Amino acid sequence: MTTYLVTGGAGFIGSNHIRYLLNKYKDVKVINLDKLTYAGNPENLSDFADDSRYRFVKGDICDEPLVNQLMEEADVVVNFAAESHVDRSIGSPDDFIKTDIFGAFVLLEAARRTHIDRFIQISTDEVYGSIDKGSFVETDTLMPSSPYSASKTGADRIAFSYFVTYGVPVQITRCSNNFGPFHYPEKLIPLFVTNAIEDKPLPIYGDGLNVRDWIYVEDHCDGIDFVHRHGELGEVYNLGGDNEKTNMEITDYILKKLEKPETLKQYVKDRPGHDRRYSLNCERMHALGWKPKHDFEQAMDKTIQWYLENPEWWQKIKSGEYLEYYKEQYEKR
């Protein structure tokens, strides 16, 4: 029996990862430690509420006594907990520094004192910064350009230092942009899909030609599990979807699929410090025998269908504090 401590498991990727683990493995226990910030939603895992293998703990990864206590039970830690939205990090970086850097440090310190089998730090392709041509390999220089990506870089390198200095069995994954069910509707794809469904404008930053590499969330979860089973300790693994698209291409795809007019496109002021292009070289994972399994268009269609079938999930989110946040964003532009 393996016990996983998954942090940030009430968010988008964390909840998908817990579902992936519980569906794939019978003999696992999962403890989900999540602070339930605006982005955390325990309903994302309501299908496992009665599963004796799953336990939810509301708490902060910066809470040392709580983390120490949970670490005693854990064999494997997967650290997803983070403030994750670049735009919010530009407006107020404080929580990014606290959670993404200090929180990771608290977890690593607890792991250092306990005999855990694995500590997987979920990093991001944004740590490399922007690249005009070619793709980043794992050994490239890190040049993060937003408070979010700089915080994630801090955690990424602190995790590495705990492997080198203290022998904590760390692995680090750097994934590209995820999409899929339970994605908080402040990020490009869920925002544009839900706005289009509601005939609201789709706010395109700048010229809409920034490029992101998109991966279906289940492939990210599969990649993390693959790294755990087949990767080396102390290594970094790029996880990409091999689907580089401009934001305009994503916008056009969504509008076409939902049969909505081009007039919903609204050009707005650019994001400050907006990275032009992210691109990963994933040869290291390919050489180990891993590749994403999902076709981009099929996964996009499945995702759009999920938002069409689950309006109660996102409509509840897109009210109250969310609307206040967006009003403030637009006033700033």
Residue 190 is encoded by which pair of tokens? 């869920």
What type of residue is 4? Answer: Y
Site for ligand DAU contains 35 (CB under 6 A): no
Q: Residue 34 CB, nearest distance to ligand DAU (Å)?
A: 16
Q: State the residue number with the nearest CB to ligand DAU.
A: 124
Contacting ligand NAD (CB under 6 A), which of 60, 213, 225, 244?
60
User: Is 126 one of the catalytic residues?
Assistant: yes
User: Is 148 one of the catalytic residues?
Assistant: yes
Tell me the residue length of the chain.
333
- Kindly write out the interface string for residues 102-141 of this chain, putting x where it contacts ligand DAU by CB under 6 A and - elsewhere: ----------------------xxx---------------
Contacting ligand DAU (CB under 6 A), which of 17, 29, 187, 220?
187
Q: State the residue number with the nearest CB to ligand NAD.
A: 11
Q: Residue 187 CB, nearest distance to ligand NAD (Å)?
A: 7
Site for ligand DAU contains 203 (CB under 6 A): yes
**Which residues touch 145 (CB under 8 Å, ≥6 apart)?**
129, 130, 273, 275
The partner in contact with residue 285, picked from ligand NAD, ligand DAU, none with C-beta cut-offs of 5 to 8 angstroms by kind, is none
Residue 274 is encoded by which pair of tokens? 């907006």
Q: Residue 263 CB, nearest distance to ligand NAD (Å)?
A: 29
Q: Residue 194 CB, nearest distance to ligand DAU (Å)?
A: 11
User: Is 244 one of the catalytic residues?
Assistant: no
Site for ligand DAU contains 247 (CB under 6 A): yes
Q: Which of residues 176-235 bind ligand NAD (CB under 6 A)?
A: 177-178, 184
Q: Count of residues binding ligand DAU (CB under 6 A)? A: 19
The partner in contact with residue 260, picked from ligand DAU, ligand NAD, none with C-beta cut-offs of 5 to 8 angstroms by kind, is none
Contacting ligand DAU (CB under 6 A), which of 188, 217, 300, 304?
188
Q: Annotate the chain with three-state secondary structure.
A: CEEEEEECCCCHHHHHHHHHHHHHCCCEEEEEEECCCCCCCHHHHHHHCCCCCEEEEECCCCCHHHHHHHHCCCCEEEECCCCCCHHHHHHCCHHHHHHHHHHHHHHHHHHHHCCCCEEEEEEEHHHHCCCCCCCECCCCCCCCCCHHHHHHHHHHHHHHHHHHHHCCCEEEEEECEEECCCCCCCCHHHHHHHHHHCCCCEEEECCCCCEEEEEEHHHHHHHHHHHHHHCCCCCEEEECCCCEEEHHHHHHHHHHHCCCCHHHEEEECCCCCCCCECCECCHHHHHHCCCCCCCHHHHHHHHHHHHHHCHHHHHHHCCCHHHHHHHHHHHHC
* Residue of 60, 100, 109, 126 marked active site: 126
Which one of the spans 29-37, 130-138, 248-256, 286-294 is the region binding ligand NAD (CB under 6 A)?
Answer: 29-37
Contacting ligand NAD (CB under 6 A), which of 122, 150, 191, 211?
122
User: Buried b / exposed e across 248-284, counting CB within 10 Å, b at 16+?
Assistant: ebbbebbbebbebeeebbeeeeeeeeebebbbbebeb
Site for ligand NAD contains 144 (CB under 6 A): no
* Residue of 125, 156, 186, 244 marked active site: 125
Count of C-beta atoms within a 10 Å radius of residue 169? 17
Q: Residue 317 CB, nearest distance to ligand NAD (Å)?
A: 11
- Kindly write out the interface string for residues 74-93 of this chain, putting x where it contacts ligand DAU by CB under 6 A and - elsewhere: ----------xxx-------
Catalytic residues: 125-126, 148
Residues within the interface to ligand NAD (CB under 6 A): 7-8, 10-14, 33-37, 39-40, 60-62, 80-84, 99, 103, 122, 124, 152, 175, 177-178, 184
